[in-house]
Structure 1
């Protein structure tokens, strides 16, 4: 069995930055509280909590004397106001790609344009984007929902369109093509981040070469689930959070297995999964040699 690891697997820049910041503050003995789970990876969140970090659902839940960490997903504008009212110190780990969308959201309102957001309305990143808008906003999850909005869109004088940074590329391209044909007044901003483009494209290519695809990452991680969807279009794919979830029987009969991971998956978990797979390899090459050869 040959194992091919995606080059883009693991932490993206924004997540790595937020995680490093939090660990560094804890190492300094600071009292820190994250607004929501820092990343969509239960193992990392549990480790941070073991080291003293608090996970708080709201600013009101943060104890006095704690420093607030805003995660890479970003937050609505009103959250900053709540932090200021409480007089709490805070560290803003909002991903720069997300912060750029916040600015676009605010600018759309100032120009009197409807803000159209491609994404999951229940995802914290999208909620943060909507929370920075100063005018009319509409969110759609796919082409079908966008088509349903067309009658309203045609009534607008100006429309600015952005996407959640982890939106599925294939869906985004379909939505852009629809808007360019049916709603020419829409000004489209390509806001899917570089890491998402690279990961999804590599998953697309790799899954076409493999009998199986293992996608490592949180079951509630948006970008991980999108990688799973991409891979599943071409081969049999599975999502695991840890090595314990990978059943050796699932690999039976596979000649080539591809491995990728979501943006919130630490390298330690990726290595654990790869090591567990090494036990299934039945040829003369060492696992390290096989990875190098792939």
Structure 2
């Protein structure tokens, strides 16, 4: 079964499904059910990380789906990330090998720096190592997570390579427009982690009113808002019904007025943030 999820073409001509499945906090024991349910629902983009401690189970589930003929390897887009304690040029190469072994794959579609951790002074060499992995054909495309303008400027200046994606916390209530504008200017695609604000935004009356108008859920409205702004979203769920609901967002469209109402939910000074502030986390 082919997927109906549209793709976005990155700055190195790599296509990536615009909606994927986030695998943070998915227990290894649940991975088989979660992954197989997601593939059946149409997901082809799977967002892993070393720190999630479930790469082995994710890889086993993906390989089982491929062996069963449910999906081909070249149909899926598998992502992982180097954790902060393995930053550095040599360390990143080893971290990559460990993730690839745990996943049981021959290559990754994207490998990312998970956090800049600017105080460590190693994010530049970490990104350089990932770019080298791309040059060796072991990674299709390179990205970063939680970077902000100064750290993006630094890696672009140091390596001459612009990351294809910056994965940041972004959802109604935290639209990060200044950083998104920076991305647009530099040809970086914005990817949203916690696109549902870890559920904290779903009771907002604006989302409820728009959801009722379209006969959908507030979560579907929040995801649609990001998709219509040409962002990538990776909602996380272990519940089959919610996994299917989160991908069922391509049959309706928000109006410009509705998009603006959702954007206006932003809180001052980043008060809508539900995760860590990258400028402070190290």
- TM-score normalised by length of structure 2: 0.33
Structure label with greater radius of gyration: 1
Higher relative contact order (CA 8 A, sep 6+): 1
